Amino acid sequence: MISFEESETLKKLQAVVREVAIQRMRPISRYFDEHEGEIPWDYVAFMHEAMKTMGAASLVPQVEGNKVQPPNYVMLAHTIETLSWGDAGIYLCTPRGGLGAAAVEANGTAEQRDKFLGRLSGDKPVFTAMAITEAQAGSENSAIQCRAVFDAQSQEWVLNGEKIFVTAGHKALVDTPGFVVVWATIDPEAGRAGIRSFVIEAGTRGIQVTRQDKKLGIRASDTVTLTLQECRVPANHLLGEVKLAGKASPKGFKGAMQTFNVTRPLVAASALGIARAALDEMTRLLTESGVEIRVGMPRQKMSYVEGEVIDMQRTLRAAWLLTLKAAWLSDEGQPNALEAAMCKLMAGEVVTRVTQKAVEILGPVGYSRTYLLEKWLRDAKINDIYEGTGQINRLVAARLLLGYRGSELR
């Protein structure tokens, strides 16, 4: 059975991570929000070294021989929540992981995991990314047009297309010896059945960053457009078992989607870290102004502000418990597609509402740049968009609850 008791190991790790959030993230939060495109290299270098000693073995995949030990996802959720409480954009600059690593862990062969994940614990910081979205293919992945064609003579895949809104794409391909996992189709007529995932390493010819986006929030994290022109990758960079050159990867699209069952609870944890930051700061400012939040009072005897704060605390706690369940199921090797979709949906709604209410309740103080509340409001919204919008996760949850296939409930 799932236990909500925190182990001594987790408590010690949380104490360290909280100090990182307070001492290393909050002081530079405003600067990197205002200087989008700059990378907090001091933070990156510190975390790369610190993770060697602060329990990182539980936070990133560990390669042992030809086996990969996945992270402890409950511990990772706690860590991400606290780092995002510090600053969500800077948290996204933490090395040794990312969507690309999660995709390899979920879908790669033992050899691929050893090759690509083994470098995460090397001497230099490494970033990974995953490129899915295209101009005509956002939530509807079956519309992907990035094409992968197998060249039997060279035993290589040749990729052509463009990917947009790639989180950490610049860091993965330009700033560090990382890699990006690109979703492409080997058969455009097959829809989702033709989609495969390919690992493209930094330094590969034919892939380049062609645009760096300006964003509403999480500005410390780079978001880029990638253009692929005759980009050649070895046959064994197709994620999954390749029995016949150009034919396999038996998991296909379904295997690629398994990545999200792992990462959506982690995105939810990040969202809830932002929400907790806003709630903590709002409560502090209200207390300093002489506003008391009385707990346990009948609702009709509470002030409007008290009622709103209690509701914010309640929804935040409920979303966190659901997120922990989804992460725990991953740790137990149990199916968690429903819980992953539900916690991502709920966290996206909660963080949007909590940050907006915090700014609203504090009025001009919350809206001003004196405090970070307005920044957290801007950081919040992306959590309801990336890795499956709220609408898509609601649809996923409905299909799983009602037993419908994708073609039956759209």
Residue 300 makes CB contacts below 8 A (sequence gap 6+) with none
Q: Which helix (H) or strand (E) holds 235?
A: none
- Residues β-bridged to residue 97: 127
Single-letter residue type at 150: F
Tally of CB atoms within 10 A around 352: 20
- Residues β-bridged to residue 226: 163, 209
Task: Please give the Cα distance from 379 to 97 (Å, whole number).
Answer: 21
Query: What would the two tokens of residue 1 be?
Result: 């059975």
Task: Please give the Cα distance from 131 to 137 (Å, whole number).
Answer: 12
Please answer whether residues 212 and 170 qualify as being in contact, where contact means their C-beta atoms are separated by less than 8 angstroms: yes
Please answer whether residues 85 and 277 qualify as being in contact, where contact means their C-beta atoms are separated by less than 8 angstroms: yes
Please answer whether residues 194 and 146 qualify as being in contact, where contact means their C-beta atoms are separated by less than 8 angstroms: no
SS3 162: strand
Query: What would the two tokens of residue 189 be?
Result: 């007529």
Active-site pick, 81, 306, 374, 387: 387
Closest CA to 401 of 342, 331, 349: 342
Task: Please give the Cα distance from 334 to 337 (Å, whole number).
Answer: 9
Closest CA to 59 of 334, 285, 327: 327
Residue 3 makes CB contacts below 8 A (sequence gap 6+) with none
SS3 107: helix
Q: Determine whether 387 is an active site residue.
A: yes
Rounded (5°) CA angle 240-238-185? 110
Closest CA to 6 of 83, 78, 80: 78
Q: Which helix (H) or strand (E) holds 105?
A: helix 99-107
10 Å CB burial of residue 27 (0-12, 13-18, 19+) is: exposed
Enzyme catalytic residues: 387
